């Protein structure tokens, strides 16, 4: 391959090497396509480097810190627990490095050409890839755009050393004494909880009536109860107005109930959403349809209005979830190869790594009713599960949504320990068209948290064993 004035040809060009892009590139290579992937930053994108993975590592370190303090109910007490936060950050970095180096090995192992640089579209089959020194033209038969998203910066809260986005919050070199979190969505709750577990005094400012508004209110109740135990102050219907910075902290002003309040902290973390990275790529040069939110319009095979250009992940409609991007990446790669793969979002789960964890897949009870289904909502509490009791972690429940006429499982919500893992069986059940009876007849190991799924199925059938 000669780099110079002549264009480099490739079958499929993938733009962005996050969980959508690198998965799309590997799957495309597996179908026999010659693939080039372009990434301006680090392989793995936001998720592996400054999102999903490092945040979960920090959350787990926070859990370990809480556990180290002991549990008086279980007769365990501890003194002089200390945290070397620099070592926490070093360990977190090792986790990230293992995964990003793994992605590079997987791409190379599948014979995907990796290119560093930024992409600008010239026409429907041509891009310029630029780094700080060079520009190279690439031509392609098909292209998959997977450029991800960026944290939204709100007025009067310009990101700085003290006004943090999620990346900044993950890379602090100290445990703050006090932190203000603007936004009570999943990122704000996850990182706020992590630092609260380290001992930080956290204040969460949420503009709506509820934190974690994407989840049912009954699911968020255990989370609010847990946050209260951690002395986290949640202020809802609060409008962040501005911040004053000093050398050693911030003063955040917000309005609630028509009254202006001020809270002092070491840092303020702003987590009010993300915007798609679809600007300054030359999409208008090609005539790709982009809506007023900056999202690219696609069909059910992730194809844009240009038949050879596809888009996946945070830059298309739907929640900004890494596993959604990976799923769409496979669909796009297979569509290019001529397979009949199409997107179906019903069985894509949503998870929040709060205390306790929250997870949802398929329809909620209300969504099912709105869609015209007659449904039965069957709940089983973790308080009646032997494994949860032995973990001393019993807050929460599973709720299974089934159709009344045939018992088909069409949704489930879990609030409780390891909800992120428990939800997988329900996603499979929905995808496979299983009924509550199918699940109830499946023998689940005892004692495990997974038994709540079987128990909820028994409730749906009207034959509960361990609850009335």
Q: Which listed residue (63, 69, 444, 446) is catalytic?
A: 446
First CA to last CA distance, the chain: 70
Kindly report the three-state secondary structure assignment for every residue of the chain.
Answer: CCCCCCCEEEEEEEECCCCCHHHHHHHHHHCCCCEEEEECCCCCHHHHHHCHHHHHHHHHHHHHHHHHCEEHHHCEECCCCCCCHHHHHHHHHHHHHHHHHHHHHHHHHCCCEEEECEEEEEECCEEEEECCCCEEEEEEEEEEECCCEEECCCCCCCCCCCEECHHHHHCCCCCCCEEEEECCCHHHHHHHHHHHHCCCEEEEEECCCCCCCCCCHHHHHHHHHHHHHCCCEEEECEEEEEEEEECCEEEEEEEECCEEEEEEECEEEECCCEEECCCCCCHHHHCCCECCCCCECCCCCCECCCCCEEECHHHCCCCCCHHHHHHHHHHHHHHHCCCCCCCCHHHCCEEECCCCEEEEEECCHHHHHHCCCCEEEEEEEHHHCHHHHHCCCCCCEEEEEEECCCCEEEEEEEEECCHHHHHHHHHHHHHHCCEHHHHHCCCCCCCCCCHHHHHHHHHHHCCCCCCC
Residues in the chain: 468
Catalytic site includes residue 466: no
User: Do the strands 238-246 and 233-236 form a parallel or antiparallel pair, or are they unpaired?
Assistant: unpaired
Q: Is the separation of the CB atoms in 50 and 167 below 8 Å?
A: yes
How large is the C-alpha radius of gyration of the chain?
24
How far is 49 from 65, CA to CA, in rounded Å?
23
**Cis previous bond, 107, omega within 30:** no
> Phi then psi for 217, rounded to 5 degrees?
-60, -40
DSSP three-state, residue 10: strand
Closest CA to 49 of 1, 97, 104: 97
- Residues assigned a catalytic role: 446
């Amino acid at each position: 391959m000669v780099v110079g004035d002549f264009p480099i040809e490739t079958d499929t060009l993938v733009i962005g090497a996050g969980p959508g892009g690198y998965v799309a590139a590997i799957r495309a290579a597996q179908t026999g396509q010659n693939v080039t992937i372009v990434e301006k930053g680090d392989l793995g994108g936001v998720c592996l480097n400054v999102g999903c993975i490092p945040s979960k590592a920090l959350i787990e370190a926070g859990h370990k810190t809480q556990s180290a303090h002991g549990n008086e109910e279980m007769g365990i007490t501890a003194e002089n627990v200390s945290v070397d936060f620099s070592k926490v950050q070093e360990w977190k970095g090792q986790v990230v490095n293992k995964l990003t180096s793994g992605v590079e090995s997987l791409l190379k192992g599948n014979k995907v050409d990796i290119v560093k640089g930024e992409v600008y579209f010239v026409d429907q089959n041509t891009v310029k890839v630029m780094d700080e020194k060079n520009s190279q033209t690439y031509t392609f038969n098909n292209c998959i755009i997977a450029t991800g998203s960026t944290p939204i910066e709100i007025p009067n809260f310009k990101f700085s050393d003290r006004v943090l986005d999620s990346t900044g919050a993950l890379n602090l070199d100290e445990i703050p004494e006090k932190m203000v979190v603007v936004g009570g969505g999943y990122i704000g709750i996850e990182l706020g909880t992590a630092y609260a577990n380290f001992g930080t005094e956290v204040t969460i400012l949420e503009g709506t009536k509820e934190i974690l508004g994407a989840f049912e209110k009954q699911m968020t109740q255990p989370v609010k109860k847990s946050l209260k135990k951690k002395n986290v102050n949640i202020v809802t219907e609060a409008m962040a107005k501005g911040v004053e910075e000093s050398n050693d902290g911030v003063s955040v002003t917000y309005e609630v109930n028509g009254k202006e309040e001020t809270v002092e902290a070491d840092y303020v973390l702003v987590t009010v959403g993300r915007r798609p990275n679809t600007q300054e790529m030359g999409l208008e040069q090609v005539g790709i349809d982009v809506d007023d939110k900056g999202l690219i319009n696609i069909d059910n095979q992730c194809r844009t209005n240009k038949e050879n250009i596809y888009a996946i992940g945070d830059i298309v409609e739907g929640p900004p979830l890494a596993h959604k991007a990976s799923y769409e990446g496979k669909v796009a790669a297979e569509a290019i190869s001529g397979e009949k793969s199409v997107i179906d979002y019903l069985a894509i789960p949503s998870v929040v790594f709060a205390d306790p964890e929250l997870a949802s897949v398929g329809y909620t009870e209300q969504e099912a009713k709105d869609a015209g289904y007659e449904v039965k909502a069957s709940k089983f509490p973790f308080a009646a599960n032997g494994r949860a009791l032995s973990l001393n972690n019993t807050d929460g429940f599973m709720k299974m949504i089934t159709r009344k006429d045939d018992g088909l499982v069409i949704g489930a919500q879990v609030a409780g320990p390891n909800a992120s893992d428990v939800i997988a069986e329900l996603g499979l059940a929905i995808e496979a068209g299983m009924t509550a009876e199918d699940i109830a007849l499946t023998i689940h190991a005892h004692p495990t948290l997974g038994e709540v799924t079987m128990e909820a199925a028994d409730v749906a059938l009207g034959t509960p064993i361990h609850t009335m």
